[in-house]
Structure 1
């Protein structure tokens, strides 16, 4: 029997086996010694199962994306040390989305068509997700957004989910915490990046919450994520005499805006949105970061074994507490690993070295939406549309050290 004849018979048999539910072990993607047929995984990952990581490694958004890369890599090591997927390791395939929509589109297309990943964790920004996620959905490649909290992300398509809780759930907690600290708050000034989909979505929630709390929305000031000089917006904001300021932007622009607010004399409470939820903010506004309130979907003290392992690994490597963006990226990788493991355990008897990638992606998407996961974020699951179901949320306040260059997030009770 020739190898060519055997491959021809196998190509006819595999669809039949799948159609009748015959068990197949998902041991590896792309480990066949023979050239794979059309639609099979051709990624050169040395027999490992490739998972795409499409986040911002360059541009001003890299302040967030770097933390996501750190979390994803810790997940890769942790789960491979535990044996991977029934003995088959995973392999992260990283693509830089930079900070714009085209960067995310290019990264997704490369991961889907060239790298043949089983799924994608990414992108960093909701603005990018609205452009890149439809590409993955049309290709039937599961996507988990690690930091896409804008309204409407899971509704992009059947293959789009997120491990980042929507802003509508998280953001109001920060306003309530500010009122607990200072019950005398009456007037609020809001600043937001008008060229960023997430910031626009987030500010709508903040403004709605301000009104629901019967506070006066004294002024709304717009800026661009590429801005560095905020003097006109800051001056207008201070002139409104607010008791509370809310900033929705990214770490670089938002941090500079806050620094200029303090330099020009604003002394009241400041709430930062999720884009400022990173210790990479500290070098931007330095000692003037002190006191910023930020709602959180992650607490390093979350009491479960996996979070302890993640926290210990992060502390050992980076000598600081893990941030939310790293925890969410770790969780994104974990969900893919756990779902793949569940699939392989359900199909244990026949080993297929090069399973058709299209079939695996579809089965993986169905499995991950059905699962429940104990993660660094706590217990999570998904709605049928891919929305995360998460129980615990927090609010932290930045406390800068005396040197004004380092600090930490102190969680409020």
Structure 2
């Protein structure tokens, strides 16, 4: 009689299969996929991993537009010294396992660099894969503390929350000097939200405002009546939200429906016009800090504005003003493209092994200065973006209650 394999062995086998599928070498330190030359047969390979499905797709779609506009601009100007940039785009969904799988897939394809992932929560899971395998990552929208600190190959063009979030608190006080009591809401299962709420709460206390209640939610929550009721019982005159677009939009709508009439400050997770169909007319008046101004009168931003408006021309109701996430994604692609041009002039890519090209490209990314839609940016040696100008906007909804705009405040 043949015996069945022990249960422990079956578990080990399943773990081994998962490990191999992840693309991680069993030796822990070698990556055989990077030993050969850079494959330039279809162009200079660059990958993007964006949330195109799931709740975070409201961000990923904005980002896809920005990357494609930058790619078109780069290739129209000759690409990488005559070689077109070949973009490979993968959907990360809105969760960590999907982001991990997409990173491994792109790296195994031989891309020189990656843009993404969309969410900070995904970045803390997927970026270490790129770091281990020596692949440059330029994050277009990861604002949580600690992203560049994942490793040398990780950088971002999105300013961290500690720079951005306090600006909107200061603006709320400027508009409403009598504010004293704040209700704070955040998603306790989201890395971005948990990081940003700490910054918001410190900014409140630094300005002399008291957080009278801190309410915790979950990313997939849709009904917030219990948390809102508990918060309103504390009679806040300011509400501060660190939530993603979908749950944040629903929270705003329910806050207004349950009677809250005071100012609302929201974090970077709601920095997209895709919130308008969610909170609709109730979006009107919310305050949010911005890392991008469409009013920036630089040649790069003017070209970006014109290119974005051209993509919207077929939709008469679509805004001609690009959102911040589109501008940041454009910037991420631009940074990689310009760094590739400089690298290829110094050391032609066709002469470099893939691993060496990736390492040299990371050095070029960090050493460059870039004229982008965000203004002039550069990087610290750690990969943190250095950006000069930031703004605060108030949402102004149109009479239809479903479209609006971010209006920058002085």
TM-score, with structure 2 as normaliser: 0.89
In the alignment, does 2:340 pair up with 1:340? yes
Residue deviations 1:167-219 (CA, integer Å, cap 9, x gap)? 00000000000001100101000000111000000000000000000111111
SS at structure 2 position matched to 1:51: strand
1:120 aligns with 114
In the alignment, does 2:104 pair up with 1:109? yes
In the alignment, does 2:337 pair up with 1:306? no
SS at structure 1 position matched to 2:58: helix
How many residues are paired up? 372
Q: How does 1:104-253 map to 2 (within 5 A)?
A: 104-113=99-108, 115-253=109-247
In the alignment, does 2:79 pair up with 1:84? yes
2:274 aligns with 280
Of 44, 69, 81 in structure 2, the residue corresponding to residue 74 of structure 1 is 69
2:28 aligns with none
2:26 aligns with none
Residue deviations 1:215-250 (CA, integer Å, cap 9, x gap)? 111110010110100000111111111111011111
SS at structure 1 position matched to 2:265: strand
In the alignment, does 2:394 pair up with 1:400? no
Q: CA deviation at 1:46?
A: 4.8
Structure 1: 5+ residue runs without aligned partners? 1-35
Q: CA deviation at 1:292?
A: 0.6
SS at structure 1 position matched to 2:332: helix
CA distance in 2, matches of 1:60, 1:378: 30
Of 44, 48, 68 in structure 2, the residue corresponding to residue 53 of structure 1 is 48
Contact 2:46 2:85 in 1 (8 A): yes
CA distance in 1, matches of 2:168, 2:120: 21
Contact 2:145 2:161 in 1 (8 A): yes
CA distance in 1, matches of 2:331, 2:256: 36
CA distance in 1, matches of 2:232, 2:202: 21
SS at structure 2 position matched to 1:300: coil
CA distance in 2, matches of 1:38, 1:270: 53
Residue deviations 1:323-342 (CA, integer Å, cap 9, x gap)? 11111111001111111111
2:324 aligns with 324
TM-score, with structure 1 as normaliser: 0.88
CA distance in 1, matches of 2:92, 2:304: 25
Q: CA deviation at 1:41?
A: 3.5
CA distance in 1, matches of 2:57, 2:127: 20
Residues 37, 390 of structure 1: alpha-carbon distance in 2 compared, 3 angstrom cutoff = closer
Q: CA deviation at 1:50?
A: 1.4
RMSD between superposed Cα atoms in Å: 1.4
CA distance in 2, matches of 1:38, 1:52: 19
Contact 2:59 2:325 in 1 (8 A): yes
CA distance in 2, matches of 1:83, 1:181: 48
CA distance in 1, matches of 2:234, 2:51: 36
SS at structure 1 position matched to 2:128: helix
Q: CA deviation at 1:316?
A: 1.6
2:363 aligns with 366
Q: CA deviation at 1:358?
A: 1.0
